[in-house]
Amino acid sequence: MAYTHTQYQERVVTEATLATAGDKGKLTPGYVPLVIRAVAIVCKTDPTAAGVLKIDKRPTAGSDTGRGDGDVAVINVAATHAQGDVVYKDGLNVEPARKRSWR
């Protein structure tokens, strides 16, 4: 999506389930650093149980040393959310790092 104020939207994961553990997606900024201002998910189906999506910051790409645990943002998906609901966290303004992981 294009914005008129030199910001843009980056899609990291197109589809994932929160029912299983593990990384769901990765964003590795290249030459141009990215500032994360908000994160969001769209419920593709009705959740059958509550889930948590944690966005972590990795100081060194490819390494779990110093990796946070939801230090960028935490999105809680309730079992009461419905298909098509957008669950988001905004106002983050997280400065660039080498890599971020969604799990």
Residue ranges of domains in the chain: 35-102
Predicted pLDDT at 97: 55
Stretch 76-94: mean pLDDT: 89
Stretch 61-74: mean pLDDT: 83
pTM (predicted TM-score): 0.72
Residue 74: pLDDT band with limits 50, 70, 90: very high
Stretch 74-83: mean pLDDT: 91
Predicted pLDDT at 92: 87
72-102 burial, b if ≥16 CB within 10 A, otherwise e?
Answer: bbebebeeebeeeeebebeeeebeebebbbb
